[in-house]
Amino acid sequence: MSILEVSNLSIRFGGLLAVDDFNLSLERNELVAVIGPNGAGKTTIFNMLTGIYRPTTGTITLEGENMVGLKPYQFAQRGITRTFQNIRLFSNASVADNVKMAATMHTTDNLAQCLLRTPKMVRNERALDEKVMRLLERLNMADKANLLAKNLPYGDQRRLEIARALMTDPKILLLDEPVAGMITTELEEMAQLVKQIREDFDVSIIMIEHHMNFVMPIADRIKVLDFGKTIAEGTPEVVQKDPKVIEAYLGGAYQNVDA
Amino acid sequence: MKKCLLLLKKFGPLLGSILFYALIMFLRREKILNGYYMQVLMFAGVNVMMTVSLNLVNGFTGQFCIGHAGFMSLGAYGSAVITTLLFKGTEFAAAAPIAVFLLGLLCGGIAAALVGVLIGVPSLKLKGDYLAIVTLAFGEIVRALLRLIQPIGGARGMIGIPNYANFGWIMFFVVLTLWLVRNLIYSPFGRAFIAIRDNEIAADAMGINTTRYKILSFCIAAFIAGVAGGLYAHVLSFIQPDSFSFTKSSDFLVYLYAGGSGSLTGSVIGAVLLTILPEMLRFLADWRLVLYALILVCVMLYRSEGLCGGKEVPFLRIKRESLYQEPLFGRRRASSEHEEGGQA
Amino acid sequence: MATILQYLVYGLQLGSVYALLALGYTMVYGIVGMINTAHGDFLMIGALGTFFIAKLFENFHVDGTYPMLIVGLIILIAMVITGGIAVGVEAIAYRPLRNKPRMIALITAVGVSMFLENFPRALPFIGPNPRPFPTLFINRTFRVLGASITSTQVIMIVLAALTMVALDRFVAKTKIGGQMRAVSMDKDAANLMGINVNKVISITFFIGGALAAVSGICYASAYPQVEVYMGSWLGNMSFVAAVLGGIGDIRGAMLGGFILGIAQIFATAINSTFGYAVGFIILIIILLVKPAGIMGKLTIEKV
């Protein structure tokens, strides 16, 4: 049974139909990539899947529960978390605190316990810190735990965004261009990381990405968007050979990369 | 030995406060500090509380409250109504003045906090400057209302409020406020506030109910401001609506940003220095506020991150590493038992 | 009926003061993005300046008033002086902070405001005491539908209206107006397009200061007293007016000013404290219904 069911999702901004009839049935632990040229509506789909935009029509169902109309924080609390294309870290907080902030919704301490800093609260804080450090270790960032997020190099900021999203214990992780602006060596690392996350955390992943040689080897399925419409769908091999896709998006570009 | 050091670190600030209190009391007894200086010091304490609470909203949660004197006035009037109108001259007040005083402060704080929620709920949908102007409007409306209510003196204000608050009480509440607010900031609540400040959209996307935490931040700040207002009323024993105008609110903003927002140390330094500075400049007569204004502008121009620039003295900060310190008393319990059911 | 008309005239009179001051607020906000709390003090400087300039022209004083030409000259000089001070304040105190968080500029503005109020107060020839403002305009009273309207009121309202129309045309039609709009949209892009951003901001402050001077003259002619603290309260009210209309929007500021002025006069007729608070009550109601003010457009952050 699929974990996320998206059907007939459309959104209209004024006269512009930004996303037209998007459908997706996401299996548990599956990795789906959404590709398409700039302005195809990819990030808009993410914004609808995380409650930032409310779709004009269509339904989003997570494990049988209707999600349309919920607030963004409720999407996160029910298990859909995302990273952002234009990095949105809590820049004046430390790396460890950035990750801890994403665990706010799991807090069991009430206000009085926090104000008085009771032994129980300190114990919970320590447990949280240990959990955060384990997560950071997996992402090779443990040594940077006390740095401010804004002082991290670019690649680390992207990884911190992923760490932060994982801290919410998501069922579905949405990665919005995780390797945008990264250099080739970092691409390989990130591909490894995404694979590892998928195995270790038992999450389903939807990913927006431009880099074909990053997407092709790790995605189970690819959906290709153009002007808000889904023009092709299938395994990387199938999509790669689809003439519509080659015309609309890949063109000569992918063949260049491939060569 | 190590334990001794830890003990000192933990209770040092408390010890320091007690020593400071003793010093001031000694100076007072030796007549080096007269009653006027004592009053200035007490106002400095009240201002520290006001600035710290404003810091919670503006500095840590990233909202703009520019009508903070409104909450202060609610606390001042709320507590004065209890101590002066309800209990003054009663046998109970004669027998247990402290109880009446504390009850007054509590009621003042609660009144301010309730109104904080009341205005917070609709207005926190507004962002940035629009929220700021609503808080300003709120402060002025409260002032207008207080002027209209005759039983509490109308525009003339309330006189004859018992001066229960002495320097010791002020010290006590300042230290308590700092301790509580520090604990709050280094807790899941404080982290949620800071997340909202740094990136509201990301905070929302990470499952933080931003509206709820913003209201909470307002509410806590209003409570502290209310208690500070109550103390103010019982230092001065006279309050009037016009003491809590926008000018007063902007004083607190000045203390906050001149000291450095987002830092408790900054709030303390800003409030104490800038409360005492105008008094020290009194010999300049009419030129006093001119110089004060010049100093303020220069501080903002040449040190716009504030006097202490977001830095925090050790005991107003809780480091990550301190979570792993051996507790002073008893054995350290395995931390994982709670969170993950003894998995580790 | 007559009373209502009478109040309406008073309301328009006060509203024109607010509107003129709110224009400066809104222009500075629109272009620099800061709340210049010292703006009300420009009004005081304008009024106080007029007081002293009028003294210089005492020789032309006839029949308790001045010839039209001299009045025009006095107003012009006051506008230039106030505008110049506003430009100076921006260059010294605000310009270095342009890229800092906005609250920093706000606090600096509080300091500037304190300075502008207390410096003249400390000067021996000005001091804290209120002074009677000279009569600049011919004072005749007309009776219209039972309400009495003075020529000063008519001149004030007309003057304010003309200034506003001129400003609106200026921003919409002239080259500098276009540059102002460009800077308000994106300072960096405007700079790259060869617009001298500093110059545009200076001009904005000059216009704001000059309008504040006109507004100060209007106010002091209606309530003929000048003192150093007169600007702070009027400044706050006109800020409310600017937000009411949608801060950053010129027509919104005018609308907000008149709404506020009229509402305040009518509410004051009921109770003076209520008259003071009514502006804030209207503000809260309007912001809850339209979170960016009457004419303002809400900007949505792109995710």
Residues 169-228 of B with CB under 8 A from A: 180, 183-184, 187-192, 194-195, 197-199, 201-210, 216
- Bridge-partner residues for A57, per DSSP? A10
The predicted structure's pLDDT at residue B341 = 38
**Would you say B229 and B167 are in contact if contact means Cβ atoms under 8 Å apart?**
no
Contact status of A72 with chain C (Cβ, < 8 Å):
no
Structure token digits, residue B288: 């006093």
| Strand partners for A82 | A174
Task: Please state, in angstroms and rounded to a whole number, the distance separating the CA atoms of residues B151 and B143.
Answer: 15
Q: Give the per-residue pLDDT at C248.
A: 84
CB A168 within 8 A of CB A157: no
Within an 8 Å CB–CB cutoff, is residue A47 touching chain C?
A: yes
Residue by residue, DSSP assigns A64-106 as: TEE-TT--HHHHHHHTEEE--SS----TTSBHHHHHHHTTGGG
A148 and A30 in a common domain? no
Q: How far apart are CA C22 and CA C163, in angstroms?
A: 13
- Number of separate domains in chain A: 2
Q: Is residue A182 located within the same domain as residue A254?
A: yes
Chains within contact range of chain C (3+ C-beta pairs < 8 Å): A, B
What is the ipTM, given to two decimal places? 0.91
| Residue A91 with chain B: CB contacts under 8 Å | 198-199
Chain B residues within 8 A (CB-CB) of chain C? 58, 64, 122-123, 125-127, 129-130, 132-134, 136-138, 140-141, 144-145, 147-148, 155, 201, 246-247, 250, 253-254, 257-258, 261, 286-287, 289-290, 292-294, 296-297, 300-301, 304
Distance CA B106, CA B305 (A): 34
| Cβ-proximal residues to B172 (8 Å cutoff; 6+ apart), any chain | none
CA separation for the pair C108, B258 (Å, rounded): 9
The separation between CA A91 and the C-alpha centre of its own chain, rounded to angstroms, equals 19
Helix B167-185 with B188-198: angle, nearest 10 deg: 70
Mark which of A150, A168, A186 sits at the end of a domain.
A168
Q: Does one domain contain both A148 and A175? A: no
Q: Do B203 and A90 touch (CB under 8 A)?
A: yes
Q: Quick one: A14 and A50 in the same domain?
A: yes
Integer Cα distance of B131 and B121 in angstroms: 12
Of the residues A101, A134, A150, A162, the best mutation for testing chain B's interface (the one with the most B CB atoms within 10 Å of its CB) is: A101
Which tokens hold the place of C15? 């509203």
**End position of a domain, from candidates A140, A168, A196:** A168
Structure tokens at A20: 């037209």
Which amino acid, one-letter code, is at A135? L
Contact A73 B204 (CB under 8 A): yes
Cross-chain residue pair A124–B194, CB shorter than 8 Å: no
The verdict on A95 and A132 lying in the same domain is: yes
Using alpha carbons, select from B240, B218, B248 the residue that is nearest to residue B134: B218
Q: Cβ contacts (< 8 Å) between B123 and chain C: which residues?
A: 284, 287-288
Closest C-alpha among C117, C228, C118, C227 to residue B281: C118
Distances (CA, A) of B31 to B24, B269, B280: 10, 26, 18
The Cα A14–Cα A82 span in angstroms is: 26
CB-side exposure of A85: number of CA atoms within 13 Å? 14
Pair (A129, A229) in one structural domain: no
My answer on whether A115 and A142 are in the same domain is yes
pTM for the whole structure: 0.91
Residues A74 and A175 in one domain: yes
Q: Which domain holds residue A154?
A: 88-168
Return the pLDDT at B339: 41
Residues of C whose CB is below 8 A from B201: 301, 303
Task: Judge whether B147 and B73 are in contact, CB under 8 Å.
Answer: no
Q: How far is C223 from chain A (nearest CA, A)?
A: 51
What is the token pair recorded at C106?
């706000």
Nearest to A72 among B205, B339, B344 (CB): B205
Identify the H or E element spanning A11. strand A2-13
Tell me, what's the pLDDT at B327? 64
Among the candidates A168, A201, A223, a domain finishes at A168
Q: Are residues A235 and A174 in the same domain?
A: yes
A45 and A93 housed in the same domain: no
Residue ranges of domains in chain B? 44-245
Transcribe chain C into DSSP letters: -HHHHHHHHHHHHHHHHHHHHHHHHHHHHHHH----TTHHHHHHHHHHHHHHHHHHTGGG-BTTB--HHHHHHHHHHHHHHHHHHHHHHIIIIIGGGTTS-HHHHHHHHHHHHHHHHHHHHHSTTT-SS-EEPPP-S---EEEETTEEEEHHHHHHHHHHHHHHHHHHHHHHHSHHHHHHHHHHH-HHHHHHTT--HHHHHHHHHHHHHHHHHHHHHHHHHHS-EE-TTHHHHHHHHHHHHHHHH-TT-HHHHHHHHHHHHHHHHHHHHH-HHHHHHHHHHHHHHHHHHSTT-SS--------
Q: How far is Cα of residue C144 from the mean position of the Cα atoms in its chain?
A: 29
Same domain, A146 and A179: no
Looking up tokens 């010839």 gives: C67
Identify the CATH number of the domain in which residue A175 sits: 3.40.50.300
pLDDT for residue A251: 55
Partner residue opposite C107 with nearest CB, options B148, B258, B294: B258
pLDDT digit of tens for each residue in chain C (303 aa)?
Answer: 788 889 999 999 999 999 999 999 999 998 888 889 899 999 999 999 999 998 888 777 766 677 888 888 999 999 999 999 999 999 999 999 988 888 888 889 999 999 999 999 998 888 888 888 888 777 788 888 878 888 888 888 888 888 888 998 999 999 999 999 999 888 899 999 999 999 999 999 999 999 999 999 999 988 888 999 999 889 989 999 999 998 888 889 999 999 999 999 999 998 888 888 899 999 988 888 888 888 877 766 677
* Average pLDDT value over all residues in chain B: 89
Selected residue with higher pLDDT from B188 and A181: B188
End-to-end Cα, chain B, rounded Å: 32
CB atoms within 10 A of CB C267: 19
Under 8 Å CB-to-CB from C108, ≥6 apart: which residues? B296, B297, B300, B301, C93, C94, C97
Residues of C contacting chain A (CB within 8 angstroms): 303
pLDDT the model gives residue C67: 80
Is any Cβ of chain C less than 8 angstroms from the Cβ of A44? no
Q: Is the pLDDT of residue B342 over 70?
A: no
Where do we find the tokens 């994403």? A102
CA–CA dist C201, C95 (Å, integer): 9
CB pairs B-C closer than 8 Å: 118
Contact A104 B191 (CB under 8 A): yes
In whole angstroms, what separates CA C200 from the centre of its chain?
19
